[in-house]
Every structure is written in structure tokens, then in C-alpha cells.
Amino acid sequence: MNELADQVPDDGERNSMTKDSRTAAVRARSVAKSFGATKALRAVDLDLMPGEVHALLGGNGAGKTTLVKILLGAMRPDKGTIEVAGAPADFRSVRDAISAGIFPIYQHLSQFPDLTVRENLAAFSLGMAKGLFAPRAMPSDAVMQGWLGDVGLPVSLDALCRELSTGEMQLLEIARASAQDARVLVLDEPTAALTHTESEVLLATIDTLRRKGTAILFISHKLDEVVAIADRITVIRDGHCAIAGAPAAQLSAPEIVLAMVGKDVQPITRISPHAGEVVAQISGLRMRPEAKPVEFSVARGEIVGLAGIIGSGADQIACAIAGGIRPLSGGVHIGGHTIPAGQRKAAVAAGIGFVPTDRHADGVFNILGVVHNTSAASLSSNVRWGLVNTGGEHMAAHDILQRIGLHPFRMDYEAANFSGGNQQKLVVARNLLIDGLNLLVMSEPTRGVDVAARRAIHEIVLEASEAGVAVIVASSDIDELLSICHRILVVQNHEIKGAFERGADRQHVIGALAGAAA
């Protein structure tokens, strides 16, 4: 694979090393970075060893994203050093890091969707050719099939990338990097949008690459995956290393969580019973011609879960209920009034809040500040005689963001300056400020956020429920739904296939999901 491959530890050594004399694929020492008065990193150390998976964990805003950007050349440190295979490195761009063999595999994939697999592989390979006289020949089909085989991706070279599943696109991304003899792969939340089966395939591919000598930086909020795949773990909290490259076998999940958040995070046990009148009636909602219409109601204070694997249609049903997309037929009735289908503005006027699946594309206004992001759905309440009451707008945003624990608590920041979990808090806060909020619809509300942010968002959902708001949560995370919902509806092929009341056996719900996925 590369010159470090012969230093790969065997299985007996892998989780037993406390001091390592091998040459690190990448070594960071005393890395520090500040943004104004905010210290994002404070003298952080990190060693990425050949043939190891090193998990990087931390709460949203802890500093891990800043560290990764520095390792990838997207950002320069204020202090500290980076070494690659023992030699000093001074990355001034992502291209510099890639040239040194450090390849990012982003959570938001970077293929050309309307090109074939062959064209995507060739474009990346030719684009990485170095030097004026570097070879520019198109890789042969046999070579490219070999690259796909190395990562276990059985797709045709003629397939368009937009026809691939998310898991297949993730593997294609890894194949492109592996073909360039990657020294280090940096995987940012690689399984966040994958099905369980796709995640298992990806983790098996990571294990294969590890055994071939690749150093892998694995960034994930899924502790079960981290415990299963990682050789070493680093946890960053408030810019410091709370755990610095400790062998994974020596750490328990509670210890990791404690290091991430600085306190124990207890599971939610309070779920208030609901006995309110029906707030929303979903009638005849049909998303596909072949699907049966979706019919259910949500009572005041009730939390209803829509459980479905990715592709089941649960997220689309949620989006249609909130007015984000137009169904083929049917709609939502609130207070005796029918909400015009596919009209988000009308849904907001009826008191329907919506937290979409993709906060980056549909939820956050990156170039706007915190206050405008938070007040976007309730601006009319702060307008008098055509003028915006900026003081009232700021106060409302301040109060709700303090309640949900925005971190860092900076009202002068743009949304782009926050981590994913804190951006999600901005989207949730915006919806809680909707005048006369009757129904809060959330799709994958905690995807890609850390344990503390997940707990905070769940607390917000429960507070809304206790205040009499009806809530619909669409999620592929069954444990999330079991922990906060009064009812769970199982979705397959854009229709409801089963229903469970609170307290249902986890295995029964999983069995229903498995049956729906079969």
C-alpha cells in the first residue's frame, strides 16, 4: 500500500500499545487555533499510526472540526506542528494535504452525479497527476474495476453516480482515494446517512484498508461503531484532549461519554402521558401512485414517531405534512381547516414547524447571523408599522438559544461558524418561535450530532410536548423513537405498515422494521 505498510501491528498488538515507537503516518503536536477571543484548540496532540483506526470524538463545538481542517490543509494553525511520515509538513491547501497522501472522505459526498463511475474515477485520477510531465493516460477499465474490488463495490463502470445508493457513493469516494495510494483517510461521519447494512459494508471496508496499512481517522457520534472499529480514541472537549490516543479496549462507553461532555448523560425517563384533543389529522396522504394513503392523527402533547430505514419514505411523509413538498393527494387538517398541500408558508401560518432532514441544504442560512436564523419563521411578530423591532427580535432569539444550550453562546456569529449540532439547535429554535405553534414536525433531528446535543434536542421535544404541542418525529434511529415517543408508526414504501404504543418491546419494533425492509 505504502512505505508504512510493513509497520502494521497484528491483531494481538493492536489494542495493547501504550507507548508507540513506530513512525506516525501523521503526527500533530501542540496544535492551537483561536477565532478572536474563542480558543478552538489549545495545544492538542494527535498521532495517526499506519494500520490503525483512530476515532476522534467530541461534542459539537469542542474543536474536532477545527483540528480536522488543519490536518487537511483547509485551515492553518496559530501554533503547533504537523509531521507526515516523520517529516515536517506545512499545508497551505487541501491539495497540499492530498499530495502528502491525506485524503478527506466527507460527510457530504463530492462525486459528479451526472457522470458515470468510470468518468468519476478517471477525473479524480487525472486530476491528481503531479507535475508538468505527469502521465495523463486514462486508467484502463481493468485497473478501475480493481479499485472498486479493493473496497468491495460491485457496480458497473457505466452506472451514473446519481443512480448509486448513499453507501455505494461512500465506497466510491474511498475507492478514489485508495487508488491514489492514500497514506491516511479522514472519514467524517461516514455512516450518518447509511442503512444498517450499508454501514456494516463500510466498516468491513475500513477494516480491510486498516489491514493493508492505511491510517484512518474516524469521526463519528455513534459510540457503538467507535467501540467496534477503533484501535485508539481521542476525545476533544473545549479545545483540550480529554482523552489522548488511549487504546479503545481500555475505555468503556460511559467513560467516553463522560470525557466528551464532562458530566454523566442519563437516559430520558420522563415522558408525560398525553390526553389532549386531536390537533392534526393526516388524511389520504399519498406520496406514490402505488402506495396506500397515509392516515393518522396527532393529539395535543403527543409525540408520534415515523420509523423507517433510509428510502422508506418516512422523511418524505414528514416533509409533506409540514408543507415542504406536495403529495399526490391528501393533506393535513388543523383546527377544522385544511392546509394547502405543498405550501410551507401556509403551514407556518397554521402553526406547523418543520426541522428538515438536511439542515445544510434546507435548514440553516449560513451567511446570516444567529438572530436572523432564529427569527426567520416568526419575523412578523416583531414587525410594527413596517419596521422590525430589532430589540424584541434579539431578545426572543437570546432567550430560546439560551434555553437550548447554543455553544459557544455567541449572538454575533454567523450560522456557518457553528458545528453541525449547534446549527441543528438554530433550526429547532426557529421553529419553537413560530406564533401559535400547534404541530412540530422533525425529520432525523439528531443525525450527526453528539450525545449532549442529542439529549438537549430530546429535552426540547419533551418540553414542547409538555406545553401542548403535537410532535411528529421521522427517524431511522429506533432507539431515539423508543425513548421519546408515545406511539411509533412503521413506514415502508411510503405507507404505514404497523403501529406500536409506548413501552413496546425493542426487538418487536426492530422486527417490524426488518420485515418492512425485506
- The dihedral sign for the CA sequence 148, 154, 158, 161: negative
Query: 5-10+22-261: what fold?
Result: Rossmann fold (3.40.50)
Which pLDDT score, from 0 to 100, does residue 432 have?
84
**What residues does each domain of the chain span?**
5-10+22-261, 278-517
Residue 478: per-residue pLDDT: 82
More confident residue, 188 or 136: 188
* Cα 285 from Cα 186, distance rounded (Å): 42
For the CA atoms of the chain, what is the radius of gyration? Answer: 24
Average pLDDT of the chain? 82
- What nine digits make up the cell of 203? 466498516
Contact of 371 with 397, CB cutoff 8 Å: yes
What is the number of H-type helices and E-type strands within the chain? 17, 22
CA distance 218 to 251: 16
Residue 360 reports pLDDT greater than 60:
yes
pLDDT of 282 reads: 95
Q: Which of 321, 309, 358 shows the shortest CA–CA distance to 514?
A: 309
pLDDT of residue 254: 78
Name the more confident of 171 and 518: 171
The answer to whether residues 254 and 289 touch, using CB atoms and an 8 Å cutoff, is no
* Lowest mean pLDDT across 53-57, 191-195, 459-463: 191-195
CB atoms within 10 A of CB 363: 21
Cα–Cα distances in Å, from 464 out to 265, 374, 431, 452?
21, 17, 11, 19
> Is residue 258 packed enough to be buried (19+ CB in 10 Å), middle (13-18) or exposed (0-12)?
middle
Residue, of 403 and 234, whose pLDDT is higher: 234
pLDDT for 483-500, tens place per residue? 899 999 999 889 999 999
Architecture of domain 278-517: 3-Layer(aba) Sandwich (3.40)
Mean pLDDT of 98-120: 84
Q: Which residue has the higher pLDDT, 342 or 67?
A: 67
- Asked if the domains at 5-10+22-261 and 278-517 fall in one CATH topology, the answer is yes
What mean pLDDT do residues 267-273 have?
A: 57
Distance from chain centroid for Cα 258: 21
Assess whether the previous peptide bond of 408 is cis (omega < 30° from 0): yes
Helix (H) or strand (E) holding 499: strand 495-501
